[in-house]
Amino acid sequence: MSETRATPWPQPFDPRAQYAEARAQYVEDGSEVVRCHTFPTLRPQTVGQHSFAVAWWCAELMDGAPSVDLLMAALAHDLPEAKFGDIPAPAKRTMSGAARSALELAEAESMNAVGLPLYEQRLELQERNVLKLADYLELLAYTVREMALGSRHRTLLLCHENAIAYVLQVLNSSHGQAQLGDTAFRIAHAHLTRLTKQGEHYVSK
């Protein structure tokens, strides 16, 4: 294990410390943020539900043997939304480089303020790609569940198409298979095929 991955939390974990309550509140607030709030959904999803599922997707892609840091990164990757809300992906893509950097710095500072590390910085390249892919696969699975419940909202269908495109972008990148590893690449392809077929079925109904 590298020295970076063994780095302790920014503050020693001590339940008696004054930041412990703030950290607990930060995690609770972040987990309760509602995702996909710019269009109506049949079953709203919270950051907590999303992050729980992303952690399981990471475990799936790593063939049941994810590192602790990868699981923690999955559980914590959207926690700063406790302070900044769920900013839709299209809005983030319109940000200038400086604005995006400022947001990322503010998010990192909000984590550090309650004694939480930036778990993603501890990840190896393969794990970072797996986390990104797990995030996209969870979004794809969520849109399929919404369609199964009967939603055909135009924005949901667009999210579904975008999620497929995001997954394909990771898988079809010039070094996609090498950076993910053969097992994660194969498992992701199988789930992408399954979820895409399910989506096509529900759209055609």
Tokens of residue 155, six digits: 């924005």
Distance CA 174, CA 94 (A): 25
pLDDT, residue 4, reads: 46
Question: Using an 8 Å Cβ cutoff, are 22 and 114 in contact?
Answer: yes
**Phi, psi values for residue 34, rounded to 5°:** -90, 130
Which CATH number applies to 19-204? 1.10.3210.10
- What is the structure's pLDDT at 13? 54
* Tens of each residue's pLDDT in the chain, 205 residues: 444 444 455 555 555 466 788 889 999 999 999 998 889 999 999 999 999 999 999 999 999 999 999 999 999 999 999 888 888 777 888 888 898 899 889 999 999 888 888 999 999 999 999 999 999 999 999 999 999 999 999 999 999 999 999 999 999 986 667 889 999 999 999 999 999 999 999 998 7
pLDDT of the residue at 41: 95
CB 93 within 8 A of CB 43: no
Given this model, what pLDDT does residue 95 score?
A: 82
Q: Residue 2's pLDDT is what?
A: 45
pLDDT of residue 173: 82
Q: Assess contact for 66 and 59: CB atoms under 8 A.
A: yes
Domain locations along the chain = 19-204
